[in-house]
């Protein structure tokens, strides 16, 4: 896909970009613009040999376009806001321009274009890498259905329509071009097409299909390379963003044949990426290191996002396991990870931030060593498994039992189906969300915490209202008649679906998190320990069933007034707990601020954590609940009536 028309298309795109006014004090380039600039730099390196050889111009048109592109890169580089990355880009663009003007060697020009791409990549948002490719057979079939008319059956650029096309389609077996072509460049060409050529955007294909095609055609020039790649130090991001030539120059310690073998067969990198994704501590380390890199580049928003991910997508998933070995270490790492976010801004001392990251990484290594050396015993695994389900299930059980017994006590057993619909729907939705996160989409830890926080906040508000409503009727004269009449009326006007929604919220917020905790626990489980893990699950189910039965049985023998009083306390207490957990979840997702108290403490079962925001909201609930309780205990005159 190299010709004057192709380069003219890029020139046109860049001319459009240049009319966009620069905004002071920011990178000035959108992600799309940065990708276009990277494409331009890469194409200069690939096509320069078509314009100049041995210091002589062999194609005047191609050479003129090289000069124009270099000028555009230089102009755009000058418009970037002052930063170390912008300075590097400006210097390399000027050096590239000078090299082209003196008809320098291909190696020198490619050196400048590679450094330009690296500088532009440092400004670009984090690239969303493919999670998994189609199989080689599926990718080949996709190529056959989409590409052979132009590129030919085997990718030689000799398809039935090739002779009619100007420029001619790319020969994907051209090793020299492939050595200087990144997979990201191929993906962008497939995704966006190439104006002025027969190459159109394959917008009808999914992202996975487009990545699979890019990897497939990018492998053709390297077919037959079979060097052992199991121990390769290259990561998937390296293989995607950089051409083999750039990787050889920047990573000379990695044999060239390994780079070529990875382009021919990248399956090993995807297997490694999947294995690392299943190791929460590895995720925590990786995201934390990326956070420091983004901070050092001045991208503070990305640095905070990555620091949040280090905790939510990594460390949080092994907290329960680590707690069984060293609670103090767990709390220390948690506190440092959450506190790091506040320092990731322009006002912080870079050296202090670097030291804090180094300290957290050191403690993560200590925690990993502790987990590796201890290899959870069967007893510890059983207890960890039991506690996870018992802790997460108890809150949901209390809400469902309270709603169920309220309806039974008020002789509205016909409405129980709405409660059951709510919690059953929550189970279905929870497992569906987990399956989608595994196979279709990526749900970040931050998104998970937001979902849990919002659900908990809504549930807390509804529970508080229900608790207030119940207590306000407990001591009123004629309350039994009121309850029968009011509930008969209100439960036929939409409140039934409100009951179903509360049942759903109370259960759904626990389901997905529970599955994630068990998924993390599985990474600590050896082949012979699954009995202990499932034994813990079974024991927790039995305990929850017993607690549920005991609560129903005990409440059934309470007088209705006493039942309403006890249930009021339970609902208000649950509102208190869920409100604290909601604030903590939204703070962990960085959706609301986090201002710690002078003293650090936490009581997970009560949802009490040492931040002003959480304690403040819980204090309001406590004061309001006390006022409600005291108000409800005032004597009621004999002549009082109940207002419906």
Placement of tokens 């059956």 in the chain:
153
Residue among 308, 394, 371 at smallest CA distance from 521:
371
Give me the mean pLDDT over the 199-222 stretch.
89
Mean pLDDT of 311-337: 78
3-state secondary structure 369-427: HHHHHHCCCHHHHHHHHHHHHHHHHHHHHHHHHHHHHHHHHCCCHHHHHHHHHHHHHHH
Helix, strand, coil percent values for the chain (each to nearest 5) = 75, 0, 25
Domain 136-236+247-275: CATH superfamily, name plus number = Cytochrome c-like domain (1.10.760.10)
Q: What is the DSSP string of 267-318?
A: HHHHHHHHHHHT-HHHHHHHHHHHHHHHHHTT-HHHHHHHHHHIIIIIGGGG
pLDDT surpasses 60 at 641: no
> Is the per-residue pLDDT at 213 higher than 90?
yes
Q: Which residues contact 15 (CB under 8 A, 6 or more apart)?
A: 72
pLDDT grade, residue 516 (50/70/90)? low
Q: Cβ distance 139 to 133 under 8 Å? A: yes
Tell me what pLDDT residue 264 has.
Answer: 86
Give the mean pLDDT of 536-542.
86
Chain centroid to CA 609:
25
Range list of β-strands (E), 2-160 = 52-53, 56-57
What confidence category does residue 303 fall into, taking pLDDT thresholds of 50, 70 and 90? confident
Rounded-to-integer distance, Cα 189 and Cα 218, Å: 12
Residue 362, number of CB atoms within 10 A of its CB: 10
Q: For residue 608, what are the β-bridge partners?
A: 603
- Radius of gyration for the chain, computed over Cα atoms and rounded to the nearest angstrom: 31
For the ranges 274-278, 296-300, 547-551, 577-581, which has the lowest average pLDDT? 274-278
Between 419 and 149, residue with greater pLDDT: 149
Which residue stretches of 523-596 are H helix?
530-556, 560-588
598 pLDDT above the threshold of 50: yes
Task: Report the DSSP beta bridge partners of residue 53.
Answer: 56
At residue 512, the pLDDT reads 67
pLDDT digits (tens, 9 = 90+) for 89-103: 888 889 998 999 999
Annotate 84-121 with DSSP letters as a single string.
HHHHHHHHHHHHHHHHHHTT--HHHHHHHHHHHHHHHH
**Do you know the residue count of the chain?**
644
Higher pLDDT residue, 544 or 194?
A: 544
What pLDDT is stored for residue 540 in this prediction? 85
- Cβ neighbours around 551 below 10 Å, total: 18
Convert 482-507 to b/e letters by CB count within 10 Å (16 or more is b): bbeebbeeebeeeebebbbbbbbbbb
Phi, psi angle pair for 134, to nearest 5°: -65, 160
Confidence of residue 143 (pLDDT cuts 50, 70, 90): very high
- Say whether the peptide bond before residue 167 is cis (omega within 30 degrees of 0): yes
pLDDT above 80: residue 565: no
Q: Read off the pLDDT band of 388 (50, 70, 90).
A: confident
For the chain, what is the mean pLDDT? 75
pLDDT on residue 482:
47
Q: Check: CB of residue 217 under 8 Å from CB of residue 155.
A: yes
Q: Among 143-157, 239-253, 585-599, which is the least confidently predicted range? A: 585-599
Confidence tier at 15 by pLDDT (50, 70, 90): very low
pLDDT of 7 reads 38
| Residue 256 in tokens | 């060239």
Confidence of residue 483 (pLDDT cuts 50, 70, 90): very low
Tell me which of 512 and 158 has the higher pLDDT: 158
Most confident of 43-57, 184-198, 226-240, 483-497: 43-57
Q: Which residues contact 394 (CB under 8 A, 6 or more apart)?
A: 544, 547
Encoding tokens for residue 83?
């930063």
Of residues 254 and 16, more confidently modeled: 254
Predicted pLDDT at 382: 80
- Is the Cβ–Cβ distance between 471 and 564 less than 8 Å? yes
Q: Work out the percent of the chain whose per-residue pLDDT is above 70.
A: 71
User: What is d(CA 611, CA 293) in angstroms, rounded to the nearest whole number?
Assistant: 29
Q: So where are the chain's domains?
A: 4-123, 136-236+247-275, 281-374, 378-632
Reported as a single tens digit per residue, the pLDDT across 426-481 is: 888 877 766 765 554 445 555 556 666 666 676 667 667 666 655 555 444 444 45
Neighbours of 477 (CB within 10 A): 13
Report whether pLDDT(170) > 80.
Answer: yes
Other CB atoms within a 10 A radius of the CB of residue 48 amount to 25
Q: What does the alpha-carbon distance between residue 367 and residue 376 come to, in Å, rounded to a whole number?
A: 13
What is the torsion angle, in degrees rounded to the nearest 10, for the CA atoms of residue 185, residue 191, residue 193 and residue 199? 90
pLDDT tens digit string along 391-400? 777 777 777 7
Which has more pLDDT, 453 or 536?
Answer: 536
For tokens 């039974």, the residue is 408
According to the model, what pLDDT value does residue 375 have? Answer: 52
pLDDT of residue 19: 34
Contact, 220 vs 208, CB < 8 A?
Answer: no
């Amino acid at each position: 896909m190299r010709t004057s028309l192709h380069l003219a298309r890029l020139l046109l795109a860049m001319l459009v970009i240049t009319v966009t006014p620069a905004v002071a004090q920011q990178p000035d380039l959108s992600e799309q613009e940065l990708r276009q600039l990277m494409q331009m730099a890469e194409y200069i390196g690939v096509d320069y040999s078509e314009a100049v050889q041995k210091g002589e111009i062999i194609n005047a048109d191609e050479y003129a376009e090289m000069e124009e592109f270099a000028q555009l890169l230089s102009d755009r580089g000058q418009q970037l806001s002052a930063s170390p990355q912008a300075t590097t880009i400006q210097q390399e663009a000027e050096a590239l321009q000078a090299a082209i003007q003196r008809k320098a060697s291909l190696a020198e020009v490619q050196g400048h274009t590679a450094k330009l791409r690296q500088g532009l990549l440092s400004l670009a948002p984090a690239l969303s890498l493919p999670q998994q490719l189609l199989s080689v057979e599926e990718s080949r079939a996709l190529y056959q259905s989409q590409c052979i008319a132009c590129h030919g059956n085997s990718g030689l650029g000799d398809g039935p329509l090739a002779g009619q096309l100007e420029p001619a389609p790319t020969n994907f077996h051209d090793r020299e071009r492939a050595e200087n072509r990144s997979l990201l460049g191929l993906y962008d060409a497939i995704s966006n097409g190439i104006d002025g050529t027969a190459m159109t955007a394959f917008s009808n294909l999914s992202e996975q299909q487009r990545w699979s095609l890019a990897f497939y055609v990018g492998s053709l020039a390297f077919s037959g390379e079979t060097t052992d790649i199991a121990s390769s130090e290259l990561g998937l991001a390296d293989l995607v963003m950089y051409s083999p030539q750039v990787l050889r120059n920047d990573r000379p310690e990695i044999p060239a044949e390994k780079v070529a073998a990875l382009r021919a067969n990248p399956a090993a990198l995807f297997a490694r990426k999947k294995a690392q994704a299943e190791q929460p501590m590895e995720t925590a380390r990786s995201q934390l290191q990326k956070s420091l890199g983004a901070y050092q580049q001045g991208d503070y928003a990305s640095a905070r996002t990555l620091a949040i991910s280090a905790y939510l997508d990594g460390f949080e998933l092994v907290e329960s396991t680590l707690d069984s070995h060293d609670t103090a270490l767990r709390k220390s790492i948690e506190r440092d990870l959450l506190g790091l976010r506040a320092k990731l801004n322009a006002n912080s001392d870079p050296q202090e931030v670097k030291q804090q990251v180094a300290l957290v990484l050191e403690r993560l290594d200590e925690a990993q060593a502790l987990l590796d050396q201890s290899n959870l015993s069967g007893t510890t695994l059983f207890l960890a498994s039991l506690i996870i389900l018992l802790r997460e299930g108890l809150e949901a059980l209390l809400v469902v039992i309270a709603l169920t017994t309220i309806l039974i006590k008020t002789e509205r057993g016909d409405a129980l189906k709405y409660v059951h619909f709510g919690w059953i729907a929550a189970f279905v939705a929870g497992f569906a969300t987990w399956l989608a996160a595994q196979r279709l989409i990526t749900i970040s830890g931050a998104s998970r915490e937001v979902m849990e926080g919002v659900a908990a906040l809504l549930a807390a508000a509804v529970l508080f209202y229900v608790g207030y409503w119940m207590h306000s009727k407990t001591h009123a004269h004629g309350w039994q008649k009121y309850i029968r009449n009011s509930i008969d009326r209100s439960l036929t006007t939409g409140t039934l679906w409100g009951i179903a929604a509360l049942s759903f919220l109370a259960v759904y917020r626990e389901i997905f998190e529970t599955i994630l905790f068990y998924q993390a626990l599985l990474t600590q489980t050896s082949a012979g320990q699954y009995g202990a893990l499932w034994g813990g699950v079974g024991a927790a189910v039995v305990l929850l069933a017993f607690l549920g039965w005991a609560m129903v049985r005990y409440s059934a023998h309470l007088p209705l007034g006493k039942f309403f009083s006890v249930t009021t306390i339970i609902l208000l207490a649950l509102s208190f707990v869920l409100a604290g957990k909601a604030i903590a979840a939204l703070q962990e997702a960085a959706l609301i601020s986090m201002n710690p108290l002078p003293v650090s403490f936490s009581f997970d079962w009560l949802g009490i954590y040492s931040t002003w925001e959480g304690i403040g909201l819980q204090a309001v609930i406590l004061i309001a609940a006390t006022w409600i309780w005291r108000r409800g205990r005032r004597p009621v005159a004999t002549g009082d009536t109940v207002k419906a």
